[in-house]
Structure 1
Amino acid sequence: MLQAPGQALLWGSQDFQHPAATHQILLQDGIRVAYKLERAARRSIGFQVSEHGLSIRAPRGLSMAQLEASIHEKSRWIAQKLQEQRERAGQVQAQRIAWVDGAALPFLGGLLTLHLNLAAPRGGSLLAVGEGAWSLHLPVAANAGAAQVRAGVAAWWLRHARGLFTERLQHYAPQLGVQWRSLRLSNARTRWGSAKSDGSIMLNWRLLHCRLAVLDYVVVHELSHLRVMDHSPRFWAVVAEASPGYAALRAELREHASPLWA
């Protein structure tokens, strides 16, 4: 049953509400969903489930009764995707970094443990202490505030990201027969990289949280754009030259959730 946006509802823990909701519906399994509806000049209904909730784009001439029927047909899929988004958000929240001595950060598919000591080398020191385990020593007081600790880690992280990204670009560019000219770091939440025809590359420093193989896939992806600037079959054939298993790596990247640095 569709309900008007202004009608009062008792929301439970299994219900979902889009922050910009315009309509509400009770699904067949008893889950209430407040969703955002947009009308557009289109022929079919578009369903999208994001971290915000359910958004629907429907043809302007479609009646609410027809829309309701379509929502109920997809009710199981909608509920499943909304729950997956909620679980993913919970995982990200659980990965919020505590900026204290001894904190652990995901790093190249493993864990990096932070050690704060004013006697540490000025630029910081990274030590491999086991398989998938690193120790980062920074010249910051062990009792420093969170903002100071975060700033110290961020400065080291950006330097390390630039150095590693440069190394991987130099490794793969000759294999693909391309030449890159500049590297820019980004902290975008929704884009891992980009490339321009002039040879400039942008890579997200959050890639350091991923496995090296996944990071390398992004490097190969962007370098491949220096040969083919679209995502045609020809482009993916170029990617496969240096990253034969790119499909699995691409899927892994889509499921990756970086920890929150705030």
Structure 2
Amino acid sequence: MPVLPGPPPVEVNLRRSARARRFSLRVSRLDGRVTLTLPARAREGEALDFLREQESWLRNVLAAMPRAGLLQVAHGVDLPVLGQSLRIASGPGRAARVEGDALIVPGAPEQAGAKVAAFLKTLARERLAAASTHYSALVGRRYSKLVLRDTRSRWGSCSHDGVLMYSWRLAMAPHAVLDYVAAHEVAHLVEMNHSADFWAVVGRIKPGWKAERDWLKHEGQQLHRFRFGD
């Protein structure tokens, strides 16, 4: 990962894209992460030259951003799990588990973040697979694969070959919201667009979906506050 030297140094993520036709810089409004996108065949040296040319603009953008209230996941921190606030606590055993209003995370304190992330990923896969299978049966289409990622620009996607991708952070959202995202992406198996026909499919399989979409719009970014040490 290249670093732009200076006070302060700025880490920059390089991302190659077959669709990119030119260099572009993006600063995440969630946590200030900087991404430099370059065409698939572009030379890295040219990308770094572009970065240096844009340094003044980049630093101005970063300076103008409000500081995100990032929170490191650790014992004693309150974390939403399927919309329910749970206090992360130490306890016996090998795997993280929910007990009442606590998320018990065994092991050394420095391992808490990684263990909570693993717990959320398992929970997300279980719930999203069940929801996706349910909704795909309703539309009479099958998805080919389910993939989990830690995406920042979208909560889910559906490819032309039927691969459903979801953010595993949906395991922190209320279950109805997770359910809506699954219905939304499965509807793309029928309509690969956001036309009126697409929304008609969503409305048929997930009535009342607007409340869940509004929750993501207004509250979803809070799920990116949590850092798991990865």
**TM-score bucket of the superposed structures, by smaller chain:** 0.5 to 0.7
1:168 aligns to 2:131 (yes or no): yes
5+ residue gaps in structure 1? 1-49, 53-84
5+ residue gaps in structure 2? 1-27, 31-63
Say whether the 8 Å CA contact 1:97–1:105 is kept in structure 2: no
Provide the C-alpha distance between the structure 1 equivalents of 2:172 and 2:114, rounded to a whole number of angstroms: 17
Provide the C-alpha distance between the structure 2 equivalents of 1:124 and 1:110, rounded to a whole number of angstroms: 16
Aligned to 2:142, what secondary structure does the other structure show? coil
Aligned to 2:88, what secondary structure does the other structure show? strand
Provide the C-alpha distance between the structure 1 equivalents of 2:162 and 2:95, rounded to a whole number of angstroms: 30
The alpha-carbon deviation at position 107 of structure 1 amounts to 1.9
Letter in 2 for 1:224: A
Provide the C-alpha distance between the structure 2 equivalents of 1:239 and 1:169, rounded to a whole number of angstroms: 13
- When normalised by structure 1's length, the TM-score is 0.57
Deviation string 1:18-73 (CA, Å, 9 cap, x unpaired) is: xxxxxxxxxxxxxxxxxxxxxxxxxxxxxxxx949xxxxxxxxxxxxxxxxxxxxx
1:104 corresponds to which of 52, 64, 78: 78
- When normalised by structure 2's length, the TM-score is 0.65
1:260 alignment counterpart: 226
2:97 alignment counterpart: 125
Q: Quick one: higher RCO (CA 8 Å, sep 6+), 1 or 2?
A: 2
The alpha-carbon deviation at position 215 of structure 1 amounts to 1.1
1:154 alignment counterpart: 117
Provide the C-alpha distance between the structure 2 equivalents of 1:115 and 1:176, rounded to a whole number of angstroms: 42
Say whether the 8 Å CA contact 1:185–1:204 is kept in structure 2: yes
1:138 corresponds to which of 102, 105, 108: 105
2:40 alignment counterpart: none
1:178 corresponds to which of 141, 145, 149: 141
Provide the C-alpha distance between the structure 1 equivalents of 2:188 and 2:149, rounded to a whole number of angstroms: 18
The alpha-carbon deviation at position 224 of structure 1 amounts to 0.3
Say whether the 8 Å CA contact 1:193–1:218 is kept in structure 2: yes
Provide the C-alpha distance between the structure 2 equivalents of 1:212 and 1:150, rounded to a whole number of angstroms: 22
Say whether the 8 Å CA contact 2:120–2:172 is kept in structure 1: no
Provide the C-alpha distance between the structure 1 equivalents of 2:74 and 2:141, rounded to a whole number of angstroms: 43
Letter in 1 for 2:123: H
Provide the C-alpha distance between the structure 2 equivalents of 1:250 and 1:214, rounded to a whole number of angstroms: 7
The alpha-carbon deviation at position 229 of structure 1 amounts to 0.3
Say whether the 8 Å CA contact 1:193–1:202 is kept in structure 2: yes
Q: Alignment RMSD, CA only?
A: 2.3
* Bigger radius of gyration: 1
Letter in 2 for 1:260: F
Provide the C-alpha distance between the structure 1 equivalents of 2:215 and 2:97, rounded to a whole number of angstroms: 30
Provide the C-alpha distance between the structure 2 equivalents of 1:194 and 1:100, rounded to a whole number of angstroms: 30
Aligned residues: 165
Identity of aligned residues (%): 35
2:185 alignment counterpart: 222
The alpha-carbon deviation at position 207 of structure 1 amounts to 1.0
Provide the C-alpha distance between the structure 2 equivalents of 1:167 and 1:135, rounded to a whole number of angstroms: 25
1:27 alignment counterpart: none
Deviation string 1:115-149 (CA, Å, 9 cap, x unpaired) is: 222x22x232223x2xxxx42222213xx23xx22
After TM superposition, the structure 1 = structure 2 runs for residues 47-126 of structure 1, keeping only pairs within 5 Å, are 51=29, 93=69, 96-117=70-91, 119-120=92-93, 122-126=94-98
After TM superposition, the structure 1 = structure 2 runs for residues 16-31 of structure 1, keeping only pairs within 5 Å, are none
